[in-house]
Structure 1
Amino acid sequence: MRLARGRWADITGAVSNATQAWGSRLGVILAVTGSAVGLGNFLRFPGLAAKYEGGAFMVPYFVSLLVLGLPLAWAEWAMGRRGGAAGYHSCPGIFRALWKWKGSPYAGVFGLIVPVMIYMYYVIIESWCLGYAWKYLSGAMALGNDPAAYGAMFQSWTGMAADGSVFQGGGAPLVCLALCVLLNFFLIYRGLSKGIELFCLWAMPVLVLCALVVLVRVLTLGTPDPAKPDLNVLNGLGFMWNPRTEQVGFLEALMNGKMWMEAASQIFFSLSVGFGVVITYASYLRRSDDIALSATTSVAGNEFCEVSLGGMITVPAAFVFLGAAGAVGGTFALGFHTLPLVFERMPLGQFFGFLWFFLLFLAAVTSSLSMLQPAIAFLEEGLGLDRKGSVLLLAVITLIGTAFILFFSKGLAALDTIDFWVGTFCIFVLACIQCFLFAWVLGVKKGMEELDRGALLRIPGWFPFVIQYVSPLYLLAIFGIWAYQNMGGYVKSFQDPANDVVRWSIGFILLNFAFFLFLIHRAVRRWSAALPRPPEAGP
């Protein structure tokens, strides 16, 4: 059996643990934590909390963490390491190794579509962070106290005013985007240990240090304007964390299906579960490596960055200077309109503005790198491409998508459409597949044995019941409620003759599905010609 497993890895061209492996336990923990810690921690999470009545949002958030985030993280680490032992490092291959159904590799298409298509727009936002950091560092961000000036600058930088305008408004946004793309593909070309791990080993500590410095500055703001004593840090923290019942009651707020959907989506987005990322990263571990404590540590590290850092910086800072109205806004409005105005009014604001957008840039890079690795692994093991060939092919694929999103920039329509259907809907589908695969195909008995192998932490006894029954029912329930309350609006938006970009964006998503399904079909034929079925990793 050992010989068969080795022969399988050689024939398929999969990147074996001998050639691609993590250099250290700390390295893999920081890499997985880095994939989780991103823009969602510092912008999306506080924006959602402020939007959904403050503390009311924290109820579905922590429920989702306990019944979805942590259980699925354990499951993905276990399935990834087990699939890696069979010679696979991507969802199509790992699903084929664990699930004997002939269609299982095709179900793994979601594990390619989700990270690749999210990367297509994520790298654009990453370039915004780099551009803003450079503007603060060079002193070009001093626009005064006029909120309209910051809104106009953001519209000009992103091309929100008209489709294609970003290609006509000067080279700075495109230069920043090119630098981000080159950095990502340079690091991914260097591989796991010399690229992803090495970058995360220094980027994560620097990121946290920058966040702590900005946090200390925010918490020591006190009451900047004595004429407005209510606008102080304590009230800002209260605005972020206390349930607000001015418009609706607390229980009524909890009946909002969209809030539960977005809370679960935030958990998926911030933990990178349901992405196909964690399962790929875990596949490069040795069978004797701990995964129970490593998975728990990465989740805890992400929650520290999200709740303790992101939750205590963005909204309280905006509240102190701009009041409740300024602290509520969408992710982009809060991050790129409101906070620059806050830094303008803050002592040493240019310095803290640079630290803020630099940490956002580092967080974005650690996440975007992780989005590329699943597809790289698939192209290598499925099509037999070498590292250079797989990197070049993926660069072409993602550049086409990024150009599409960048061109249809008016109102960020293409970005928002792809973010919803891929960054929310497809993540839920992949999470359901992985939940079913771990609990009912692999089975909780084998799954627990995999988690216990080399474990430095005992998995709690409630986990098997939760992953078998609670997690899938919770997923289906909140998705069903959300669909009942909101799907009609999305259908009408699709049918609206004025929304051509929405239809084109959905068509582009379907085109990517067709392309990756074709590649998976080629991979399955190649794998089947080598061996009828991959050998399952032994106990």
Structure 2
Amino acid sequence: MALSQPGPSREGWSSRTAFILAAIGSAVGLGNLVRFPAEAGANGGGAFVLFYIGCVILIGLPVLLSETLIGRYGQAAAPESFRRVAEKSGKSPAWEFVASLGVLSAFLVLSFYCVLGGWVLYYIGIFVQDLFTTGVTGGAFADRSVTEVEAIFGAMISDGPMTVILNIAFLVITIAFVARGVSGGIEKVAVYLMPAFFVLLLGITIYGMFRGSMAETISYLFTFDASKLTGPVMLAAVGQAFFSLSLGVAGMVTYGAYVGRNVNLGVTSGVIATADTSVALIAGLCIFPIVFAAGLAPEGGLGLMFQTLPHAFQEIPAGSLIGLAFFVMVGFAALTSSVALMETPTAWVIDRFRFTRPIAATMVTLSAAILGTLCALSTGALSGFHPLGFLPMFEGMGMLDVLDTFTGKITMPVGALLTSIFIGWVANKRLVDSENGLGGGLHVFWRFLVCWLCPIALTAILIVGIFPSILGES
């Protein structure tokens, strides 16, 4: 069958480097900085890390390349790119539903992710104020007890007006870049903030090498204990590899549409996955030396970032300065991710309704602000509101947790699963081969992964996410 040419070109990245930095910024977020290090330390150390890296290579990378090549070929918003690949493969255009689901996922994640971004802004403000109080060399929170430091987080999230304002503030910062377009805004946030992020990450890690407990950290993260690699732990590693690359939200399809024909997507996808994984590994070497030096126990989740670490900064030299640098670094990571999340539905609105970019971005922002307000209030004034409490999966959850669970356990895995099926079994092989940038044995291996291993693994993530009792989890 003769294949039509790819979709018409559109506004794009100024260089391959800009695309790589933007894609890394999309992938690197709070999960890399908090969830992965805690999961690695608690679940087998080096054994978990090796298994996780294998999952990135065998599952995350094939889906990442699949999403990017769909966008590059389609040269449009994610649903239209899926439609063009399907039609040029002689298949039903209804496959655009996969990307539409991804656009919905991106919007829902944006709605609660900016709430978390607002929390980061709050802590940046606290550390700025504290720096002026204690000086550069002083520890953080010099005049507060441990209980008071840990209580800051609870007081903040229960303050409804404060969390709503912080959420809107983070959305405004995000739209300031998205509304200016790919080269004028989105690319700028990536090109400037991602290098700054890496400088801060490495700087704090070097600080931990000399002033923290690096030996204890290395033992915690990299001691090889295969006995802890149980079924649930291995599935958690698969899920972490999948989520850390921001797959299933059509973000890489959207960013892929701005990639030039001269970029080798296979090589570039490998660079993105390597950088994302490296950040997750270095994050552990950045965070835990400070935690252990303060004599604190490692903790996973938001408690590590917003309660344990602020306490740790209280105990170390120059804690105010290091704490400020840390939360600025986290803010950069959160912003580059929120920009990617906002761009996905914004691109869809532009293509679907032919609105200008500023109008489309404003529509997305206002909608996300409404839903985000409910999420912000769900930890305070609306803590008793459980919108889907009649379903066992969402029992007792407020709006923020409902959206997090719904996207993380249902829509994102479904989107990634259908993407792998679409590329592996539906899309024309010659079309895919012309876009993936792979050759020889690598191409054969990648096709095996995307046709067989990825669908099986993603199906397992989906089933266990919905029915955790299968692995004996509640």
TM-score range, shorter chain: 0.7 to 0.9
- Contact 1:123–1:181 (CA<8 Å) still a contact in 2? yes
> C-alpha distance in 2, partners of 1:346/1:143?
11
> C-alpha distance in 2, partners of 1:443/1:51?
44
- Contact 1:292–1:458 (CA<8 Å) still a contact in 2? no
Shift of 1:322: 2.2
Identity %: 23
1:142 aligns with 2:141: yes
> C-alpha distance in 2, partners of 1:280/1:115?
11
Shift of 1:262: 2.9
Query: Which of residues 213, 236, 254 in structure 2 aligns to 1:280?
Result: 254
Q: How many residues align?
A: 444
1:394 aligns with 2:394: no
The one-letter amino acid of 1:254's match is: L
1:424 aligns with 2:409: yes
Cα deviation per residue 1:275-301 (whole Å; 9 max; x = unaligned)?
210111011223333222221111112
Structure 1 residues 489 and 221, CA gap change in structure 2 (3 angstroms): same
Q: How does 1:451-470 map to 2 (within 5 A)?
A: 451-452=436-437, 459=442, 461-470=444-453
The one-letter amino acid of 2:150's match is: G
- Contact 2:110–2:338 (CA<8 Å) still a contact in 1? yes
Q: How does 1:312-351 map to 2 (within 5 A)?
A: 312-323=285-296, 326-327=297-298, 329-351=299-321
Shift of 1:83: 1.3
2:330 corresponds to: 360
1:415 corresponds to: 400
Three-state SS of the structure 1 residue aligned to 2:181 is: helix
1:509 corresponds to: none
2:279 corresponds to: 305
> C-alpha distance in 2, partners of 1:102/1:289?
27
2:223 corresponds to: 242
Structure 2 unaligned blocks of 5 or more: 134-139, 384-396
> C-alpha distance in 2, partners of 1:402/1:481?
28
> C-alpha distance in 2, partners of 1:33/1:357?
19
> C-alpha distance in 1, partners of 2:429/2:45?
37
> C-alpha distance in 2, partners of 1:211/1:488?
36
Shift of 1:218: 0.8
- Contact 1:261–1:479 (CA<8 Å) still a contact in 2? no
Shift of 1:36: 0.9
> C-alpha distance in 2, partners of 1:83/1:420?
30
1:95 corresponds to: 82
1:67 aligns with 2:58: yes
Query: Which of residues 466, 469, 472 in structure 2 aligns to 1:486?
Result: 469
Q: How does 1:119-198 map to 2 (within 5 A)?
A: 119-139=110-130, 142=141, 146-159=145-158, 165-167=159-161, 171=162, 173-198=163-188
1:497 corresponds to: none
Three-state SS of the structure 2 residue aligned to 1:418 is: helix
Structure 1 residues 340 and 365, CA gap change in structure 2 (3 angstroms): same
1:270 aligns with 2:249: no
Structure 1 residues 433 and 130, CA gap change in structure 2 (3 angstroms): same
- Contact 2:290–2:316 (CA<8 Å) still a contact in 1? no
TM-score normalized with structure 1 length: 0.77
> C-alpha distance in 2, partners of 1:360/1:458?
39
Shift of 1:45: 1.1
TM-score normalized with structure 2 length: 0.87
Shift of 1:489: 9.3
Q: How does 1:32-43 map to 2 (within 5 A)?
A: 32-43=23-34
> C-alpha distance in 2, partners of 1:195/1:22?
11
- Contact 1:444–1:464 (CA<8 Å) still a contact in 2? no
Shift of 1:116: 0.9
Cα deviation per residue 1:361-398 (whole Å; 9 max; x = unaligned)?
00100000000111111111112222132112211211
The one-letter amino acid of 2:374's match is: F
Shift of 1:405: 0.5
- Contact 1:32–1:278 (CA<8 Å) still a contact in 2? yes
> C-alpha distance in 2, partners of 1:459/1:376?
35
Three-state SS of the structure 2 residue aligned to 1:71 is: helix
> C-alpha distance in 1, partners of 2:113/2:142?
26
Larger Rg: 1
> C-alpha distance in 2, partners of 1:311/1:301?
15
Shift of 1:217: 0.9
Deviates more, 1:209-218 or 1:235-244: 235-244
2:97 corresponds to: 106
- Contact 1:126–1:361 (CA<8 Å) still a contact in 2? yes
Three-state SS of the structure 2 residue aligned to 1:48 is: helix
Cα deviation per residue 1:467-517 (whole Å; 9 max; x = unaligned)?
111211222234445555437999x9xxxxxxxxxxxxxxxxxxxxxxxxx
Deviates more, 1:194-203 or 1:40-49: 40-49
- Contact 1:17–1:285 (CA<8 Å) still a contact in 2? no
Query: Which of residues 39, 45, 49 in structure 1 aligns to 2:36?
Result: 45
1:82 aligns with 2:79: no
1:54 aligns with 2:45: yes
Query: Which of residues 204, 222, 226 in structure 2 aligns to 1:214?
Result: 204
Shift of 1:343: 0.9
> C-alpha distance in 1, partners of 2:97/2:452?
25
> C-alpha distance in 2, partners of 1:176/1:456?
48
- Contact 1:187–1:195 (CA<8 Å) still a contact in 2? yes
Root-mean-square deviation (CA), in Å? Answer: 2.6
Three-state SS of the structure 1 residue aligned to 2:398 is: helix
1:405 corresponds to: 375
2:214 corresponds to: 233
1:118 corresponds to: 109
The one-letter amino acid of 1:241's match is: F
Shift of 1:166: 2.0
The one-letter amino acid of 2:323's match is: G
> C-alpha distance in 1, partners of 2:315/2:144?
7
> C-alpha distance in 1, partners of 2:401/2:440?
40
Three-state SS of the structure 2 residue aligned to 1:219 is: helix
1:436 corresponds to: 421
The one-letter amino acid of 1:210's match is: L
- Contact 1:83–1:97 (CA<8 Å) still a contact in 2? yes
Three-state SS of the structure 2 residue aligned to 1:462 is: helix
> C-alpha distance in 1, partners of 2:464/2:243?
20
> C-alpha distance in 1, partners of 2:342/2:249?
11
Shift of 1:110: 1.6
> C-alpha distance in 1, partners of 2:216/2:55?
27
The one-letter amino acid of 2:252's match is: V
